[in-house]
Amino acid sequence: MNAAAAQVGVSRPHESAALHVSGEAIYTDDIAEATGTLHAALGLSPVAHGKLLGIDLDLLRAQPGVVAVLTAADIPGANNCGPLLHDDPILAADVLSYLGQPVFAVIASSRDLARRAAALAKHAIRFEALPAVLTAKAAHERGQYVLPPMHLNRGEAQVALATAPHRLSGEWSVGGQEQFYLEGQISYALPQEQQAMLVHCSTQHPSEMQLLVAHALGYAAHQVQVQCRRMGGGFGGKESQSALFACVAAVAATKLRRPVKLRLDRDDDFMITGRRHGFDYRWDVGFDEDGMLLGAEVDLISNCGHSADLSAPVMARALCHFDNAYFLPHVALHGFCARTNTQSNTAFRGFGGPQGALAVEMILDSIARRLGLDPLLVRQRNFYADEGGRNITPYGQQVEDNILAPLSDRLVETSDYHARRAAIASFNASSPVLKKGLALTPLKFGISFNVVHLNQAGALVHVYTDGSVLVNHGGTEMGQGLNTKVAQVVAHELGIPLSSVRCSATDTQKVANTSATAASTGSDLNGKAAQDAARKIKQRLSVLAAQIFGCAQDEVLFEAAQVSAGKQSLGFTELVHKAYMQRVQLWSDGFYTTPGLHWDRAKLQGKPFYYYAFGAAVAEVLVDTLTGESRVTRADVLHDVGQSLNPALDIGQVEGAFVQGMGWLTTEELKWHPQSGALLTHAPSTYKIPTANDSPPDFRVSLFDQPNAADSIHRSKAVGEPPLLLPFSVLLAIKDAIASTGPAGCDPLLRAPATAEAVLSALQAVGAVGTVGTA
């Protein structure tokens, strides 16, 4: 196709950008409410762990505007909504598992009245308090898990450790992270005829919501329809955890035969829903004088909360990403999914990958400081390489299309890394209070769901007689631009302008049995499915065009809204009209499954990923040693998205992921009361996400220009999750600045998030003790 007529590989505005800024974009709460709509609010457990003795329903029913109060006994089907083990009750029945757990639902004439009544939970709920376990370490010591431990082994780790010239052990931890989507959890359920239910739900997984709502109602799946036009952000928090709210709204709507809306406010959203898993680590590693890793034994302990949710695949991905960009000849990795009396943690952008990869980055940084080497040099020496058999992961997959070395070499050059490293050393030597730090970190991130059957997608493409095109696919739009990219793919395939293609709301009655929009697979899966549907229509049209032109079918070209063969041509719309008159089918379904995947869950071996995305970032920070305040002054990013479908959208995703990951590692600190189990950081006043002012003032983002070697959609690569690993460079640059205040070889113990308090603690330890710890 003529490059000027191409619809992919070019920057196009987000399909809803103008609607977002004008306020015309319709979110679930903007849907016009049907006559008789009622509103629901949830009464929450006032204790972290206890036995539920009873609920004063008379007190609640007597409140103004209250129409009904629902408990677990009112759920006609099954009272659970866990995505895998179904161990997460919709409403607590016998046991209270965390402070903030939904115990009852108030249905009232207005949202305000429902919330006022639900707020009486602390008076209405009778309970017997039980001992609570609030930290992953405490649960691990008790052997208290939501799932059996997982183990990933290669080689002889203990032998390698015993014979290594150098050995390093340590403990470390990283906190969780709130998704903080702008649009909170919300569902709107409307009863339909013949015992059917329509649910508008802000969710990344409409098919799962359909099945779980049916499960709660005792319905068949075909009685439940779930729609989602767009979300105001998701980041994983609306993959599984939107289910509870969809189920409550649907149960209430079924019981009362009236529409019911359930929209959480920010406080309740924090108190009820889970977030990124915090991890604790214990490691023992062996290495040589050059910093080459020879062996490692590592415990990874995740705080899963009170139920399993998606903790199993999160831990599996963490174990499979511990290696990050590095060849590890002998490893023994042990994953423990700790059960605590807190919110059940869930998917978050990266899905365990960041927690796994961050550990090896901290280890390599400590090794470099122990040896007195530049951490970048140690990283480069440990890179995966094609020679010497150093290209097989601990889980048995070959690292193909390895561009780690050329990508990082280019970033070293374009960021002027070595000159800046020398300049920073000079600055720190003459600056007693302000200290600078610099770090470069790479990434390798596997793309595919690590549950093989989820790697499938479907789509519908309709061509109307006026030449316009409607696309429906199983992915969900949460601001990332998925609909824009899918529309570009279809427009490119049919040779028509993007303005002729429109994507409609995700709907379980149009494309069935879809996977979640997660694992960075949205464009890969749904783009391929939509391309398949468009190609079927194009093939039918090209048969007709060949008959009209009197040529072979393979001579027919679709380009710039024209269909041509040699010097003959006619408009796309004209051909479509002729096809309709000839009774040619002008719509088609499409389907795609990712090829070549296989995975042994028990052994954690196989090929779980279709391909890898790569990237690297250099961060420069400034630290005030008197206050602990830190700032990122410059960030240089080079990220691999293959042959980009839409460079503008991809750069935006990289920038957003960098800032979001930076927030996780620097300012977003979750705190629970050590006795009561109450989440103390449950509002913007106490939980600090990055603002525009926190973005690097000098922020240089470039895309690595090399097509994907795998047959992905137009040779592009996923961009949602991988760049969240880029701001590891920020945390390690802060550590680098702190290290400059101590003696040579000092290895500061900096916890994450590196808040001002954490930085001060690390600075004080370095100043008081010198070389501190080994973590």
For residues 198 and 433, what is the distance between their CA atoms, to the nearest angstrom?
61
Angle between helices 522-549 and 572-581 (to 10 degrees): 70
Torsion of CA 506, 511, 513, 517, to 10 degrees: -40
> Please, where are the H alpha helices in 431-521?
482-494
Spatial strand order of the sheet with 95-96 comes to 95-96, 50-55, 125-129
For residues 235 and 57, what is the distance between their CA atoms, to the nearest angstrom?
37
For tokens 């696309």, the residue is 471
Query: Which H or E run includes 58?
Result: helix 57-61
Query: Which H or E run includes 650?
Result: helix 647-666
From the number of C-beta atoms within 10 Å of its C-beta (0-12, 13-18, 19+), residue 627 rates as: exposed
Count how many residues are written for the chain.
775
132 alpha-carbon distance from chain centroid: 29
For residues 768 and 775, what is the distance between their CA atoms, to the nearest angstrom?
17
> 10 Å Cβ neighbour count for 602?
7
For residues 383 and 405, what is the distance between their CA atoms, to the nearest angstrom?
8
For residues 41 and 678, what is the distance between their CA atoms, to the nearest angstrom?
20
- Closest C-alpha to 508, from 464, 476, 537: 476
End-to-end CA gap in the chain: 55
Q: What are phi and psi of 281, to 5 degrees?
A: -130, 145
Six token digits for residue 134:
């609030």
HSE on the CB side for 599, CA within 13 Å? 20
Torsion of CA 4, 9, 11, 14, to 10 degrees: 120
The DSSP code sequence of 15-32 is TTHHHHHHT-PPPGGGSP
Q: Which amino acid is at 656?
A: G
Contacts of 100 (CB under 8 A, 6+ apart): 44, 45, 268, 271, 272, 343, 679
Six token digits for residue 592:
């795609």
For residues 345 and 101, what is the distance between their CA atoms, to the nearest angstrom?
13
Q: Which residues pair with 439 in a beta bridge?
A: 619
Q: In this structure, are residues 439 and 725 in contact, taking their beta carbons and an 8 Å threshold?
A: no
Helix (H, G, I), strand (E, B) or coil at 656: helix
Q: In this structure, are residues 252 and 68 in contact, taking their beta carbons and an 8 Å threshold?
A: yes
Can you point out the beta strands (E) in 160-223? 166-174, 186-192, 196-201
Among all residues, which ones are annotated catalytic? 721
For residues 233 and 407, what is the distance between their CA atoms, to the nearest angstrom?
31
Q: In this structure, are residues 229 and 477 in contact, taking their beta carbons and an 8 Å threshold?
A: yes
Q: Which residues pair with 470 in a beta bridge?
A: 462, 502
> 10 Å Cβ neighbour count for 12?
20
For tokens 């600056």, the residue is 431
Helix (H, G, I), strand (E, B) or coil at 429: helix
Q: What are phi and psi of 100, to 5 degrees?
A: 115, -5
Can you point out the beta strands (E) in 161-289? 166-174, 186-192, 196-201, 224-228, 260-263, 279-287
